[in-house]
Structure 1
Amino acid sequence: MAFSVNTNSNAMAALRSLSSTQNNLTTIQSQIQSGLKIGSATDDPSTFVIAQGMRGDVGALKAVQEGLNFGTATLNMALAAATQVSDQLTDMQAKITQAQNDGLDVTILQDEADEMVSQITTIVSSAEFNGINLIDNGGTTSGMTVLTGLGGATLSIAEQNATTTGLGINGLDLSSEKTTLTLDNSLSISSGNTLTFAFGGETHIFEFYEGATALTSSPDEANGTYVHGVQIDTAAESFQEMIGNLASAMRTEAGLTVNIGEDGVVDVIAAGQTITTTNGVAGGVTAADGVGGGGIAAVDAAKTAIGSVLTTLGTAANRLESQAEFTQVLTDKIEEGLGILVDANLAEVSAKLQSEQTKEQLGIQSLSIANAASQSILGLFR
């Protein structure tokens, strides 16, 4: 090979090798500091983009988890209050039963029952968590929607009605009576038939109609007369289904408590107020007013209603709890997958560090030898 002081190819080769070794050492040092083998798009663009998407999913799932925790806390508040309402109704049932015995001062028992009704109102109005009350149908909220997963999946929890009005015990009278409707197989309901209930100074007319048939009864709301339509389909619905439609309208539109028994007897209670019934159905319905046990029937219906509230809220709470557990598992699995993609194997990195440090020392020595080689040329000119 030619001897030249202008070009030292050995020194340039040694320098390239030393620069490569130092670049490797820089990469290794970055992995040790961050714990990541892919910390930026320059390390591996496609893998880095995938990892960023997975990090976004993890962040979104953690936000979902927070929402699930909030929803669970709200439901737990409502469940605790509904349980207290149920306990109050159990105590109230004992007072009503006592009132049926001769020789007891019903006035004192009535005062206690009134306090229990007031306590239920207090419990329901206090069952609010961060502005949401799931058992006060007369409140400002209309249920709750909880985000349960990525992509906008949600669970809607309807607001329940555990108020004294919704339970049918507002103004409860321990010695009140009730109206019973006895149904039989000859029941014949057609469009235009009516059932009228008068109580508390109001008259509520329930008129059956089919299709788009207009109602024929005339309301006079200024004087307390209200007309409620009950839609039926005589061709497709059984009389049980039509009576179910009637009961739904009576509950939601007139605030009546309605119990439908398997024996064909329908109990109608107006929160302890006396009801007068006018039957406008062609046949199959026998109405009886002034039947005893209205207070007991009202509380029994209230217990059934609060049981439904507890079932609905408890089922929703269980679902949120299950979803929260699944979300946590899903988050952990995504983080595990992310780690496989971008985490550095520090045992492997440690071995490489030792190797590259040795190569660096050898490279420095090699470059020193290559640089000294040009000094040998001076010996040719002595």
Structure 2
Amino acid sequence: MASSLLTNSAAMTALQTLRNVSASLQTTENRISTGQRVSTASDNSAYWSIATSMRADNAALSAVSDSLGLSAATVDTEYTALNKVIGDQNSGLTKLQALLVEAKTAGIDRTKIQAEITQIQQDMKNVANAATFNGVNWLSTNASTPTTVNLVSSFSRVGGTPTINTITVTVANYSLYTATTGGILDTVTGSASVNTIGIGALTDSTADQTILDGYIAQVTTAINTVSQSAANLGAIKNRISNNTEFVKSLMDSVDRGIGQLVDADMNAESTRLQALQTQQQLGVQALSIANQNSQSILSLFRG
């Protein structure tokens, strides 16, 4: 091969090789520093676009998870209060029913029984008023309380169309007390509501015994209605819990999918980095040798 002062082919070849190695080395270093083999659209436009959409979906799922947490807390508050109102042998509607049955006994002091009934009525009212979470109360409502509430339950996207699913709650099904006395416990049936039952003035007469029978039937109906309401909230509570677990699992799955698309294989990149660093050193050495060949031509012109 002829030697030329104007064209150093060996140096040009070595320089081009060194440029290619440096570019590959920069790509590898970027992957190692970011942990991603696709960090920008220029790396792989298709995978970058898919990963970007999936990240947006995961952000939406995170918002759904937060909403489910808020819904779960709200439902749990109302559910707990309903169970408290149903009560047991010492409290709530269950105790109220037992007291009314006891009041059927001839000659019993119904004034003392009424004192207990009044305490139970006030306690149930207090429980309903306290069943508030984040300003929401379905058990003791007023004119500003919405008739229905939509609880966000899930998010999905088919193509470019997002879908947000909700659980619809009809507040009237759980209202124990309302501003218009139309709740489960303050609706008047006959002469009184569960909230206003009074037996202190009743006697052993047949007419008063009939009134007591009506009160007992009224409280029994209330127990059944409140129990059904609690059962419905229990089902909603379980659904929210299942959806919460599913959303968390789905977010993990999406994260794994994104990782498979864009994450770098650090073992492979580490091996590639060492190989490219070696190639870069050899390229520098080859370029140095090629440049030295031009210097040796000068020796031919020395006298």
Which TM-score tier does this pair reach, normalised by the shorter chain?
0.7 to 0.9
Whether contact under 8 Å (1:92, 1:116) holds in the other structure is yes
Q: Distance in 2 between matches of 1:310 and 1:174?
A: 28
Q: Distance in 2 between matches of 1:115 and 1:292?
A: 18
Look up the equivalent residue of 2:175 and give its one-letter code: N
Which of residues 129, 152, 155 is equivalent to 2:167?
155
Question: What pairs with 1:219-368 in structure 2 (closer than 5 Å)?
Answer: 292-368=212-288
Which residue number corresponds to residue 72 of structure 2? 72
Whether contact under 8 Å (2:184, 2:226) holds in the other structure is no
Whether contact under 8 Å (1:133, 1:139) holds in the other structure is no
Question: What pairs with 1:92-171 in structure 2 (closer than 5 Å)?
Answer: 92-138=96-142, 140-142=144-146, 143-150=148-155, 151-159=163-171, 160-163=174-177, 165-167=183-185, 168-171=193-196
Higher helix share: 2
Look up the equivalent residue of 2:69 and give its one-letter code: N
TM-score (norm 2): 0.84
Q: Distance in 2 between matches of 1:135 and 1:7?
A: 92
Q: Displacement of 1:59 after TM fit? A: 0.7
Which residue number corresponds to residue 209 of structure 1? none
Q: Distance in 2 between matches of 1:158 and 1:322?
A: 21
Which residue number corresponds to residue 196 of structure 1? none
Q: Displacement of 1:328 after TM fit? A: 1.3
Which residue number corresponds to residue 20 of structure 2? 20
Q: Distance in 1 between matches of 2:142 and 2:184?
A: 9
4+ runs deviating over 4 angstroms = 289-292
Q: Indicate the SS of the match to 2:196.
A: coil
Q: Distance in 2 between matches of 1:59 and 1:176?
A: 64
Q: Displacement of 1:120 after TM fit? A: 1.0
Whether contact under 8 Å (1:39, 1:342) holds in the other structure is yes
**How many residues of Structure 1 are paired with residues of Structure 2 in the alignment?**
272
Q: Displacement of 1:291 after TM fit? A: 6.0
Q: Deviations over 1:227-283 (max 9, x none)?
A: xxxxxxxxxxxxxxxxxxxxxxxxxxxxxxxxxxxxxxxxxxxxxxx9xxxxxxxxx
Which residue number corresponds to residue 9 of structure 2? 9
Q: Distance in 1 between matches of 2:237 and 2:105?
A: 42
Q: Displacement of 1:343 after TM fit? A: 0.6
Q: Distance in 1 between matches of 2:9 and 2:44?
A: 33
Q: Deviations over 1:154-174 (max 9, x none)?
A: 111221122384234021134
Q: Distance in 1 between matches of 2:211 and 2:72?
A: 44
Higher strand share: 1
Look up the equivalent residue of 1:350 and give its one-letter code: S
User: Which ranges of structure 1 fall in alignment gaps of 5 or more residues?
Assistant: 178-273, 275-288
Whether 2:299 is the aligned partner of 1:379: answer yes
Structure of greater relative contact order (alpha carbons < 8 Å, 6+ residues apart): 2
Percent identity between matched residues is 34
Q: Distance in 2 between matches of 1:321 and 1:139?
A: 31
Q: Distance in 2 between matches of 1:70 and 1:312?
A: 18
Q: Displacement of 1:292 after TM fit? A: 5.0
Whether contact under 8 Å (2:104, 2:212) holds in the other structure is no
